[in-house]
A and B are shown apart, each in its own frame.
Chain A
Amino acid sequence: MIEIMDLYAGYSGSEILKGISLKVNSGEMVGILGPNGSGKTTLINTMSGVLKPKSGKIWINGTVIDELEIHELSKQIAVAPQKTEISFPFKCFSITLMGRSPHVGKWGFYSENDKRIALEAMNSTNTLKLSERPITNVSGGEAQMVTVARVLAQQTGILLLDEVTSNLDVSHKMAVFDLLTRMNLQGATIISVMHDLNLAALYCNRLVFLKNGKILLDGPTNEVFQQNNLREIYETEVQISFHPVTKSPQAHFVPGFFSRSRLNNPNCEPKASGSSFDNRRHKPTDKVTKTSPKNNSLVRGIQ
């Protein structure tokens, strides 16, 4: 269980999280969504103890995070980062085995049991075939799968995932989230930062939307995943339909909206209308041949 109260956090000079309060109970699967720069990664970093809050409190399973030793915390929370830059060619197996490090005594070595757990984690993420290859020589997607294996090997009750499927193709994305769902059913608490709204709606039963360092929305997927909410948060036109199989809500963003909103902005060309822009986009030959002064200035406005 993670409880956050009135959290302010950021990096030197800039405050990114501005008053976050959030409670995630054991066994929940929560998706954290929001536009770029809304503070999702910062939230993950404060929850994992890497970034100290400027004010506010965080409890991990009932203990204030500052009172937990780094080593103790790593037995309770595993974090999969957005990306990893490694300067030395460790084998993918060694990377996965590093997930066992919190369970190894201070001077100890990895036991046979640790190695077995690491191999099982690689097996369940389908990365066994990579085990002897250097992490520096695999693709971005493969490296992400190895990271997921490492997080699984850590065997913690809480998993924090930061866009862990961003480099993966559809089948791997689904495979990772199917796996996470299975772990969730077995009791793991999963908090996943995501950009893919539809994937989040498919797999998470609760969604938290961040914007400008504050929580805008927090609730069961079916209640918060609605047209008005998404339109407001992402400032983009959106339509909602329902997944034919799972009945989860799915968002479909409408093209051209961003440019239209800029065109309606008085700083841009005042006479330009959205429909003429859309026509220009969809039937380019049509408009380009009939270039009018109005259209010229429209193009300038866009540029």
Chain B
Amino acid sequence: MHQPSRLDLIELQHEKARKRFVLLTISLTLISIVSVALASSIGRVPVNLSDTLRSIFSAVGICSGDHVDETTRTVIFDLRLSRVVLSACVGMALSVSGAAFQGILRNPLADPFTIGVSTGAAFGASLAIFFGAASLTFAGFGFIPVLSSLGALAALFTVLFLSRVDGRVRRDTMVLAGIVVATFLGALISLVKSLDEESVSSIVFWVMGSFQGRGWSHLGFALPYLIIGLVLVVIHSRDLDLMTLGDSQAQQLGVDVSKTRRRVLIGASLLTAGSVSVSGVIGFVGLVAPHLVRLTVGPDHGRLFILSGLVGMIALIWSDVGARTLLPEGEELPVGVITALLGGPFFCLLLKKRRVESGID
């Protein structure tokens, strides 16, 4: 019989796809763990891998750290590991946020950076610092991420408003509006920082992004935002799949479209704001990771979130290693420089490819 064999074939292909996804998840998880260890051992003072691992394990109380001297342990655990873990979390958050923005805005070119949300968050954060609100807390959360989230949402809605032409949001216009808003807010950040008589380096921190001097405490105050954002976005994975068919069709398939859109936009903005409030604006991670993943496992949002989160982690861990080791004498590059250097050309390729594929839109 003809039909059963075709069904078997399809079944086999689905099984293969499932296995590939599981295999990818496991291997990317292993790679991230190895990356954390390796990245912690790399630095101005190189520490060999076994000492790195001993320092880490002794700090969490798994083994004694007798063989490693006190300074190395502090350098590894408090300075490097904290920074590596923070960059991993930010990488994960930015990628998931990018994937969510792309899905909900039905725009493959969207990313927290290209649609201006990151810079909005950075502006919110620098305002908080300018008005001395940095030390205040709000319901147990630090105040910076709160203002940062508000800035992110304000920028998002401005961009959505600007990119609506004749009631339709166009993809290219959205990116254009995003860049206009980001440039404008970037200038405001510089202004606020200058008024505050801060150094140029603090302006660079917000505009180009950096993990310099960041540690466990920063992770602690970003984490609640990242977790809430992640949950809001991930619980709507299947709804996001359906919403790629368009709002009316999604609703006809049982999705509460406006509720989903509200939650995902807020969730993705929280992920961005949490990240930006500790690391400044880091571009392109949220663009590159989801696209690489879509190319390998397809656009299904459940799989997309898991894998692009992992890819984003690995990408940002190593970008930050580059940022702190590429220049001689312990000088640091902003990590946003590395991600832009790698991600910018990728973005151009994507823009070009889409134009070829589907005409102009």
> What is the interface of chain A, defined by CB distance below 8 A to chain B?
45, 48-50, 70-71, 73-75, 77-79, 81, 84-91, 93-95, 98-99, 101-102, 104, 107, 115, 119, 123, 128-129, 131-132, 154
Contact = CB atoms under 8 A, between A and B. Distances in A.
B10 A75 contact: no
B29 interface: no
A129 B6 contact: yes
B254 A74 contact: yes
Top 10 A-B pairs ranked by shortest CB distance?
Answer: A74-B254, A88-B299, A102-B254, A71-B254, A79-B252, A50-B248, A87-B106, A101-B253, A48-B252, A88-B244
B303 to A, nearest CB: 11
A88 B7 CA distance: 25
B298 A90 contact: yes
Given A86-B244, A87-B244, A74 B7 contact: no
A171 B255 CA distance: 34
A138 to B, nearest CB: 14
B251 A70 contact: yes
A119 B4 CA distance: 11
Given A70-B255, A87-B107, A90-B244, 7 more contacts: A74-B253, A81-B248, A88-B103, A89-B298, A89-B299, A123-B3, A128-B3
Given A70-B254, A107-B235, A132-B13, A90 B241 contact: yes
A100 to B, nearest CB: 9
A37 B298 CA distance: 38
Contacts of B253: 74, 98-99, 101-102, 154
Contacts of A79: 249, 252
B224 interface: no
A95 B242 CA distance: 8
B238 interface: yes
Contact of B10 (A77, A78, A107, A131): A131
Nearest to A120: B7
Interface in B251-288: 251-256
Nearest to B358: A136
Contacts of B246: 81, 84-85
B101 to A, nearest CB: 12
A139 B254 CA distance: 27
13 contacts: A48-B251, A49-B252, A50-B251, A50-B252, A85-B246, A87-B107, A87-B108, A94-B241, A98-B241, A102-B254, A123-B3, A129-B6, A131-B10
Contacts of A154: 253
Contact of B242 (A75, A93, A101, A115): A101
Nearest to A72: B254
B214 interface: no
Contacts, number: 87
B238 A88 contact: no
B263 to A, nearest CB: 13
Nearest to B238: A101
B300 interface: yes
A203 B155 CA distance: 53
A93 B298 CA distance: 12
Interface in B189-209: none
B294 interface: yes
Contacts of A128: 3, 6-7, 10
Contacts of A107: 235
Contact of A75 (B103, B108, B254, B256): B254
A88 B108 contact: yes
Nearest to A81: B249
B251 A49 contact: yes
A98 B252 contact: no
B6 A88 contact: no
B245 interface: yes
B252 A77 contact: yes
B299 A90 contact: yes
Given A70-B254, A74-B254, A102-B254, A86 B245 contact: yes
A98 B245 contact: yes
A50 B106 CA distance: 19
Nearest to B7: A119
Contacts of A84: 245-246, 249
A132 B7 CA distance: 11
A35 B294 CA distance: 42
Contacts of B249: 79, 81, 84
A99 B238 CA distance: 12
A48 B300 CA distance: 26
A84 B252 CA distance: 13
The listed residue with most A CB atoms (<10 A of its CB), out of B103, B241, B244, B300, is: B244
A102 B294 CA distance: 25
Contacts of B106: 87
A86 B246 CA distance: 7
Contacts of A119: 7, 10
A73 B256 CA distance: 11
Contacts of B252: 48-50, 74, 77-79
Interface string B1-25: 0010011001001100000000000
